Amino acid sequence: MKLTHKFEELTPEKRPQDPHLDGSGLRFETMEHGGEYPDAMPQAIKLIDAQGRSCIYVPISQDGKVVDTQRFAFDFGDD
């Protein structure tokens, strides 16, 4: 089995550019902290560009625990 996702072409007006090519317009905000271990590691980071657009990065978790991905796999169970 082959899984393929088709994407629409990203036109120039949809591609934000960094005019100085140095990331000077980017801001990072740490969000919630804590988690399973007693440390100061943020559990979410918000990235904001010069135009105010943002996205939030969160760690991958499984069963409520943060995990490090090792590979992708497909399960073709006979269920």
Q: Residue 74: which pLDDT band, with cuts at 50, 70 and 90?
A: low
Model-wide pTM > 0.85: no
- 11 or 28: which leads in pLDDT: 28
pLDDT value at residue 28: 94
Q: Residue 41: which pLDDT band, with cuts at 50, 70 and 90?
A: confident
SS3 label, residue 73: coil
CA–chain centroid gap for 38, Å, is 23
Q: What is the largest CA-CA distance in the chain?
A: 54
Instruction: Please state, in angstroms and rounded to a whole number, the distance separating the CA atoms of residues 41 and 35.
Output: 8
pLDDT value at residue 14: 79
